[in-house]
């Protein structure tokens, strides 16, 4: 009886040893991280991809990437998730094009043991992913709204908003934050609806694209040629809006504010194309995401919750009462920090 008990104990110890060994092996396998962005053409996502790739190489992780054809291409992102899970990634980093429609595909990936982290854009609901590393987009809007209000003080605003597309959290948060910062009736940060106070005479979707931004601005000017303030979802849309205003001879009489803080966008602040922009930091998002992917592969510990990756107002001309950094700072930190 004692002999039998000893054998059982020895087998149990051997089993524990094998389990521990397999756990160590699993935890020390090479991390395999996938990044899925909204598009491959937007400079913001181009830089995010570059940053993620460099960070993965630095930390010894295998890295692959994919993107939708255009902002809003949910089917392309779903296919990318499925392909990455099949390829054996441990972590997927994603900037969701459609905050709601992407959720079922993300759930399948998480059910398969893949950590999924949203970068830049939240899902709807936000907890459909393990974590979110992103700008506070509502605050980004508030900053440029406050700046515009200070510059426009004493002048009646006639506003055009060149937005993303309906229902997207990032587009709604920046739009509504801008109106809140300006001091106009708006929605809170948790709403995906776009507020439209009387001062907003034209709203148009640009999908964050320069050509669409130019067309949107042309259409808004036809609707109301007295527009004197333009909010844009990002700097490519702002560049398009400026081209339309310049063609109409109105580039000197209309203020444009935007969000991104990319290198070309900051240069456009210096040139007077954009009055002010809220700078965000995709390289920081990418680096945090890759680091979380490496940690998960090696320890089994997932990232949790929301991490604010920061936002800074960049303006060539500071205004009283609104905190901002100058162009030199913006260029030194564009996309990075």
Chunked into runs of 10 residues, the chain (337 residues) has average pLDDT values of 38 37 49 96 91 96 95 94 98 96 98 97 95 97 98 95 93 98 97 97 96 98 98 98 98 97 97 98 96 97 97 97 97 87
Let me know if residue 6 belongs to a domain: no
CA distance 47 to 37: 11
Are 207 and 80 members of one domain?
no
Q: Is 151 in the same domain as 225?
A: yes
pLDDT of residue 188: 96
Residue 152 and residue 266 in one domain = yes
Longest C-alpha distance within the chain, in Å? 99
Model confidence over 110-154: pLDDT tens digits?
A: 999 999 999 999 999 999 999 999 999 999 999 999 999 999 998
Same domain, 103 and 227: no
Q: What is the CATH number of the domain that holds 85?
A: 3.40.50.2300
- Claim to verify: residue 254 and residue 141 sit in the same structural domain: yes
Q: Is 8 a member of any domain?
A: no
Asked, for residue 51, whether it belongs to a domain, the answer is yes
Q: Is residue 150 part of a domain?
A: yes
The C-alpha atoms of residue 34 and residue 11 are separated, in whole angstroms, by 40
| pLDDT of 72 | 87
The CA distance from 83 to 70, in Å, is 19
> What residues form DSSP beta bridges with 232?
162
Is 192 inside a domain boundary?
yes
228 and 258 in a single domain? The answer is yes
Give residue-wise pLDDT tens across range 287-311. Answer: 999 999 999 999 999 999 999 999 9
pLDDT, position 337:
59
Are 120 and 225 in a shared domain? Answer: no
Cβ-proximal residues to 64 (8 Å cutoff; 6+ apart), any chain? 32, 33, 34, 35, 84, 87, 89
Kindly state whether residues 325 and 183 are assigned to the same domain: yes
127 & 142 share domain: no
**How far is residue 197 from each of residues 153, 181, 227, measured CA to CA in Å?**
18, 13, 15
Based on the fold, state whether residues 98 and 128 are members of the same structural domain. yes
Are residue 235 and residue 321 in the same domain, yes or no?
Answer: yes
Instruction: Flag whether 23 is in a domain.
Output: no
- When divided into structural domains, the chain yields a total of 2
120 with 260, same domain: the answer is no
- pTM of the predicted protein model: 0.86
Domain that holds residue 157: 137-279+313-333
């Amino acid at each position: 009886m004692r002999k039998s008990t000893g054998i059982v104990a020895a087998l149990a110890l051997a089993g524990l040893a094998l389990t521990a060994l397999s756990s160590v092996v699993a935890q020390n396998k090479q991390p395999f991280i996938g990044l899925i962005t909204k598009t491959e053409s937007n400079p913001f996502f181009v830089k995010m991809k570059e940053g993620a790739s460099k960070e993965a190489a630095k930390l010894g992780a295998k890295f692959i990437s994919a993107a939708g054809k255009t902002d809003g291409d949910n089917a392309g992102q779903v296919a990318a998730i499925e392909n990455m899970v099949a390829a054996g990634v441990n972590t997927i980093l994603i900037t969701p094009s459609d905050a709601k429609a992407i959720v079922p595909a993300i759930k399948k990936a998480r059910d398969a043991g893949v950590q999924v982290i949203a970068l830049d854009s939240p899902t709807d609901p936000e907890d459909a992913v393990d974590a979110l590393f992103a700008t506070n987009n509502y605050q980004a809007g508030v900053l440029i709204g406050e700046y515009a209000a200070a510059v426009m003080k004493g002048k009646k605003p006639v506003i055009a908003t060149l937005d993303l597309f309906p229902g997207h959290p990032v587009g709604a948060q920046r739009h509504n934050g801008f109106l809140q910062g300006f001091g106009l009736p708006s929605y809170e940060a948790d709403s995906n609806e776009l507020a439209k106070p009387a001062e907003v005479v034209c709203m148009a979707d640009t999908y964050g694209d320069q050509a669409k931004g130019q067309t949107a601005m042309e259409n808004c000017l036809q609707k109301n040629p007295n527009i004197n303030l333009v909010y844009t979802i990002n700097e490519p849309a702002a560049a398009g809006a400026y081209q339309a205003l310049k063609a109409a001879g109105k580039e000197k009489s209309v203020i444009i504010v935007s969000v991104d803080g990319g290198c070309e966008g900051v240069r456009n602040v210096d040139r007077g194309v954009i009055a002010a922009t809220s700078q965000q930091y995709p390289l920081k998002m990418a680096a945090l995401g890759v680091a979380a992917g490496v940690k998960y592969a090696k320890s089994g510990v997932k990232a949790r919750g929301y991490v604010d990756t920061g936002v800074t107002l960049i303006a060539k001309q500071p205004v009283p009462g609104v905190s901002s950094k100058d162009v030199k700072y913006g260029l030194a930190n564009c996309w990075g920090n």
